[in-house]
A and B are shown apart, each in its own frame.
Chain A
Amino acid sequence: MENVESMGGEKTPDLKTVLEEQIKNLEEKKSSMYFFVMDTKGNPTAGMANIYKHVKTLIELGYDAKILHEKNDYTSVDSWLGKEYGELPHVSIEEQQLKVKADDFVFIPEIFANVMEQTATLPCKRIVISQAYDYILEMMMPGKRWADYGITECITTTEKQAEYVKGLMSGGLKTYTIPVSVPKYFKPSEKPKQPVIAIHTRDQRDMVKIFKTFYLKYPHLKWFTFRDMRGMPMEKFAQNLSECCISVWVDEISGFGTFPIESMKCDVPVLGKVPNMVPEWMEDKNGLWTHDFNAIPDVLANYVQAWLEDASPEELYEKMGETVKKYTEETQKEKILEVYQQVVDNRIEEFKFKLETLQPVNNEQ
């Protein structure tokens, strides 16, 4: 392919050909979609799992999607997310064989403002994937916004996050929303629930405070086990979660709140502290919600005492069932297809527009 950046009338047909080829690539799903991820060194994170899910689904839908990571010694997600995800196509930046074309896409998690800046000169389309709104400004230079790095589109997991980033990055930012889905292996346990409390807190100190307070104030319930849900392989995580009689969730900066949805899918009621950004699935009666962190041990004791008598409110379980219906893999797949096709179509329109702006010039010549 010739260099299309040369000036001069005789080069114009080449640019036209290039644009036509790029449009063709996009239409035939030959363009690559690179999803940049960090190396979590084998530690499970919901955000990573969701990105891998996007990639896997896009491949199933016929797109050329790949995981993009920085170093060659990237730690595989096999151990916690499963072999089927570990075997997805991976590309390392360090290998220096990466050739990103103008019709390709690079998706960058919200935290990597440095990557947004470093990739600003690439010819491809770059889009932010924002799942944890609280991290957006973490590495941004003061006064900078994504548009300063040439990024004008963002995929989020909730409408609320979409509104938030629009407000933060100001006008012109186009947002898409793809809700998280919960895999089918999150299901109610076959055996009756156990006196075990699943606990998931962003800050480990919160977990320690909760169980120590609980045991101190309610010594007669000291035989209930708290199960720290962090760091488990996903299927083991789902199995362990499904055995619990209740789960406790504290994540002030949660962007979506995957853990409560996973719990509900396992028929495990959730006691949670209402995050700063109230999740859109959160309703009065689909969980035990409190704004007061210090009230958690008391609400928990009340609930488990009712559970011992089989007196958990039936409405709670009904509402949980209704809530999780919205977050199936099928629904997410439909949304992934819709959004990424929209992203591709927009890019095609951009190229077509360029193509159209070329032609009048040719005619005049």
Chain B
Amino acid sequence: MDNVTVILPVHRLDEKEKDYFANAVKSITTQKIEKKPKILVVVTNEELKKEVESFDYDEKIKENVKVLINDGETDFCSQINFGVKNIETDWFSILEIDDEYSMIWFSKVEEYMNHYNDVEVFLPLVLDVSPDGKFLHFTNEPVWAPEFSEKMGFLDNDSLLNYPNFQTSGAVYNKETFLSVGGFKKGIKLHFVYEFLLRMTYYDKTIMTIPKLGYKKINMREGSLFYGYYNEGSEKIRVDEAKWWFNQAKKECYFKQDRGITYEEEVTT
């Protein structure tokens, strides 16, 4: 799997986040494959770069780690888009700092790539847990349910319109495909994943869920991106606005570029 780069955006590294970072990196080190993926850590400033570079990486992956500063916009989507433009491999995956891969994930991706060579995005079966580690649910699995999508195991536009809850972290993407549809749009706020998948399927890109546990995600961790959208603070989005962004995602998916739309509260007279 030396043709895959894991993009790991880091905004800060306080004590708790150092632990998360160590855990995330460990989940790459412990992959059950000989050739570990490359790692690109995208940071926001020089100080953070030094801190990430000085981390005590395992010998198995030490040579694979590269740290880059994105001195442009530093939201999650921009960090990923920046990372994708700077990788040297044909494939990449996104790892959030507080999440982890399962040990089998990249060996499974390798296996499925050999059997499904037309697939452009391999989604993992995501294990969603609460901040205290309790099982909540799986994500990305419905494509395997009977009659969910046109082809069992594959995501299509019609099924996404009926069921929007899919996750892209942990997935392995073809770089060219990602760039060809325009990458992530930060302007879609909390529904950027949904809009991206709608756009991918609208442009007939092939997305498959590998029916194996590939990624463990902590839901609503305090300080995470989505926590900010749902809880008090500057990022909090009200229900009306969330619905508006959801509908906007369905409209914006036809456009490859981020059109920078802004929320306009409906005014009734």
Contact = CB atoms under 8 A, between A and B. Distances in A.
B125 interface: yes
A195 B116 CA distance: 16
Interface in B107-143: 108, 111-112, 115-116, 125, 135, 137-138, 141-142
A194 B212 contact: no
A309 to B, nearest CB: 5
Interface of A, secondary structure class, is: loop
Contact of A191 (B115, B142, B145): B115
A309 B146 contact: no
Report which residue of B111, B141, B153 has the largest number of chain A beta carbons within 10 angstroms of its beta carbon.
B141
A203 interface: no
Interface residues of B, number: 22
Nearest to A219: B137
Contact of A192 (B115, B135, B144, B146): B115
Nearest to B152: A194
Contacts of A224: 144
A309 B138 CA distance: 13
Interface of B, secondary structure class, is: mixed
A363 B142 CA distance: 88
A310 interface: yes
Contacts of B146: 225
B115 A195 contact: no
A310 B152 CA distance: 20
A1 interface: no
Interface residues of A, number: 13
A289 B70 CA distance: 57
A282 B104 CA distance: 31
B212 A310 contact: yes
A220 to B, nearest CB: 6
A308 B213 contact: yes
B110 to A, nearest CB: 11
A314 interface: no
Given A223-B141, A223-B145, A225-B145, A308 B211 contact: yes
A222 interface: yes
Interface in A195-249: 195, 220, 222-225
Interface in B195-249: 211-213
A225 B141 CA distance: 12
Contacts of A308: 125, 211-213
A194 B144 contact: yes
Contacts of B141: 195, 223
A194 B125 CA distance: 13
B138 A192 contact: no
A194 B153 contact: yes
A190 interface: yes
A190 B104 contact: no
B142 A192 contact: no
Nearest to A222: B145
B44 interface: no
B138 A225 contact: no
A208 to B, nearest CB: 15
A195 B148 CA distance: 14
Contacts of A223: 138, 141-142, 144-145, 148
Contacts of B145: 222-223, 225
B108 A310 contact: yes
17 contacts: A190-B115, A191-B115, A192-B112, A194-B144, A194-B211, A195-B141, A195-B144, A220-B138, A223-B138, A224-B144, A225-B144, A225-B145, A308-B125, A308-B212, A309-B212, A310-B108, A310-B212
Which A-B residue pairs are the 5 nearest by beta carbons?
A: A223-B145, A195-B211, A310-B104, A223-B141, A191-B115
Interface of A: 190-192, 194-195, 220, 222-225, 308-310
Given A195-B141, A195-B144, A225-B146, 12 more contacts: A190-B115, A191-B115, A191-B116, A192-B111, A194-B152, A194-B153, A195-B211, A220-B135, A223-B141, A223-B144, A225-B145, A309-B102
